Structure 1
Amino acid sequence: MEKTYDVPALRRASDILEALAAAAKPVRAATLAERTGLSRSTLYLMLETLARMQWIEKRDDGYVIGVGLFELGNAYVRHDTLQAAFREGAAAFIHQHNEVVQLAVLDGIHVVYVAREDAHRPVRLVSDPGSRLPAHCCALGKALLAGLSDEAVIERLPERLEAVTPRTITRRTALLRELAAIRTSGLAVEREEVAEGLACFAAYVGMTPAGKRIAVSTSVPIGRLDPKRERRICIGIVQLATQLRGTL
């Protein structure tokens, strides 16, 4: 087995950034020391350096992710020229259906949201860019997993899956059956497996030149759906995925 080596300073910086990214409010230095296990002297040196680079910012009595790191993170989407194509396609979908559109990539067993275009009305979402969800429980994740073989999915996921809501699929065998249907239809559907009262429809786009598996989706409150509108939205999201596939 090939050995892997960490650069200690980079690992420490990563630990700090992950702690800040997971927090909903500024994190105090004392809390960071507890979460990362770093000594006070090492921690303060790291914080000063990261602040000078604008990767973090001092806010009130704690620290938050900084604008410099935000700028670097946005390059993830720009490098594959996906951002412009996504925004153009999403704008057309929103004009027709007035529902949010999301773009995500597969990272191991999780979905990471990389872009979102909002509709002209509010909807409760958990898809802020940079956030992640277990792939097995959301339509985006199912669309992305359906792009893999069953063998690859079995290698990634355990037999028992995490329940995010009471409606989440928790058996890998049941998920595999659903993935087979998605490969046939080209559409992934999820109802209240991530959030109560919310349905999601997603379609696999493909793999970018940089090796990212990407998919698009829309999330709609169940109360705004009837069979006819749901069919139109499903057709629209599959068409958007096909359009984006042509840009890869």
Structure 2
Amino acid sequence: MPTSESGTTPPNSDQPKGGVREVKSAARTVEILEFLAARQNRPVRLRELSEALGVPRSSLHALLRTLAQHGWVRSDATGTLHGIGIRALLAGTSYLDTDPYLPLVTPMLDGLREQLDETFHFGRVDGKDVVYLATRESSQYLRPYSRVGRRLPAYSTSLGKAILAGLPADERDSHLPPTLEPLTPHTLTERAALDADLEATRQRGYAVDNEENTVGLRCFAVALQYDDEPATDAISASIPLARLSPERDAEIVAALRQAGDRITRLAGPVRNSLTWG
């Protein structure tokens, strides 16, 4: 950290991270938006937000007012309840609109749903989570909300495990939290058990989530290998246990593998035309 001529740290200096100085107000703004987005449709009071982020209420109040003025945060008439604003939706939609692989994947998801009438997902690893970029719901079970944009721990989902299984050990560590918290009684919370499961995933070529993220659901996933780099994307199927059998399991996995292989072939020209990764 830089110091003044007297040898003391100047006030309001930001800790450099990786050679780049972090701007505190910008970092707090991102933390606010991510916290509000994770709450979905549950508004938060200033005091609760302050306690959750460890930021003084006076600092948060000014940031929230600025974000609300620009549409990134919405507040109630009294100014005491806050939630994510419409600008966040517009930014997220722009990301989806410009993603080069989404137009290749979504027709495959449509075909899988038509063929098998189950729920299929397209996800991408982001830090320690998987973010859902597209979902096609089974006609047999419709959720009251969209999964697009939702984040879930990579270690507890078939999407995440399909991606983690292809990473070198040192890269895998950066996508796992220090403690593997249980989302259900079936979540793998011991690192040795997770590593063994990821090795099994690597060997068989697909991942399985046995009620590790949602009780009553088994999920299968295959990674999408666009190039020689480790995969960052995957497609998956989520099926209630009551509709599964060994024969159905095999049918689902075969369909996912076929779709994954086709996406990989189609993605070659797209990847070669990209100006950035």
* 1:185–1:123 CA distance, 2 compared to 1 (3 A): farther
Matches of 1:158 and 1:62 in 2, distance apart? Answer: 31
* 1:95–1:76 CA distance, 2 compared to 1 (3 A): same
Alpha carbons 2:217, 2:240 under 8 Å: kept = yes
Q: In the alignment, which residue of structure 2 is the partner of 1:227?
A: 246
The two structures, once aligned, show a CA RMSD in angstroms of 3.0
Q: In the alignment, which residue of structure 1 is the partner of 2:32?
A: 16
Higher RCO (Cα < 8 Å, 6 or more apart): 1
Relative to structure 2, which stretch is displaced further, 186-195 or 145-154? 145-154
The gaps in structure 2 that reach 5 residues or longer are: 1-16, 268-277
Instruction: Output the TM-score relative to the length of structure 2.
Output: 0.77
Relative to structure 2, which stretch is displaced further, 122-131 or 84-93? 122-131
TM-superposed CA distance for 1:59, in Å, is: 4.0
Q: In the alignment, which residue of structure 1 is the partner of 2:256?
A: 237
Alignment of 1:134-145 (within 5 A): 134-145=153-164
- Given residue 83 of structure 2, which amino acid in structure 1 is its aligned partner? V
- Given residue 32 of structure 2, which amino acid in structure 1 is its aligned partner? I
Alpha carbons 1:25, 1:64 under 8 Å: kept = yes
Matches of 2:261 and 2:240 in 1, distance apart? Answer: 24
From 70, 83, 87, give the equivalent of 1:53: 70
- Given residue 229 of structure 1, which amino acid in structure 2 is its aligned partner? R
The DSSP-based 3-state class of the residue aligned with 2:225 is: strand
Instruction: Output the TM-score relative to the length of structure 1.
Output: 0.85
Q: In the alignment, which residue of structure 1 is the partner of 2:96?
A: 77
- Given residue 57 of structure 1, which amino acid in structure 2 is its aligned partner? R
Alpha carbons 1:110, 1:141 under 8 Å: kept = yes
- Given residue 70 of structure 2, which amino acid in structure 1 is its aligned partner? M
Whether 2:52 is the aligned partner of 1:35: answer yes
Relative to structure 2, which stretch is displaced further, 11-20 or 151-160? 151-160
TM-superposed CA distance for 1:5, in Å, is: 1.5
Matches of 1:235 and 1:46 in 2, distance apart? Answer: 50
Alignment of 1:45-194 (within 5 A): 45-59=62-76, 61-122=80-141, 128-154=147-173, 157=176, 161-194=180-213
1:100-151 CA-to-partner distances (Å, cap 9, x unmatched) read 1111112233222222222223266998223222222221111001121244
TM-superposed CA distance for 1:66, in Å, is: 1.5
TM-superposed CA distance for 1:30, in Å, is: 3.7
The DSSP-based 3-state class of the residue aligned with 1:204 is: strand
- Given residue 18 of structure 1, which amino acid in structure 2 is its aligned partner? E
- Given residue 5 of structure 1, which amino acid in structure 2 is its aligned partner? R
From 204, 211, 214, give the equivalent of 1:195: 214
The gaps in structure 1 that reach 5 residues or longer are: none
The DSSP-based 3-state class of the residue aligned with 1:190 is: strand
Alpha carbons 1:113, 1:127 under 8 Å: kept = no
Q: In the alignment, which residue of structure 2 is the partner of 1:215?
A: 234
Q: In the alignment, which residue of structure 2 is the partner of 1:204?
A: 223
Q: Percent identity?
A: 34
Matches of 2:28 and 2:227 in 1, distance apart? Answer: 31
TM-superposed CA distance for 1:99, in Å, is: 1.1
* 1:134–1:209 CA distance, 2 compared to 1 (3 A): same
Q: In the alignment, which residue of structure 1 is the partner of 2:22?
A: 6
Matches of 1:65 and 1:90 in 2, distance apart? Answer: 29
Alpha carbons 2:184, 2:214 under 8 Å: kept = yes
Relative to structure 2, which stretch is displaced further, 211-220 or 229-238? 211-220
Alpha carbons 1:123, 1:221 under 8 Å: kept = no
Q: Which has the larger radius of gyration?
A: 2
Matches of 2:144 and 2:204 in 1, distance apart? Answer: 26
Alpha carbons 2:163, 2:231 under 8 Å: kept = no
> Aligned pair count?
248
* 1:190–1:33 CA distance, 2 compared to 1 (3 A): closer
The DSSP-based 3-state class of the residue aligned with 1:114 is: strand
Alpha carbons 1:105, 1:212 under 8 Å: kept = no
- Given residue 134 of structure 2, which amino acid in structure 1 is its aligned partner? A
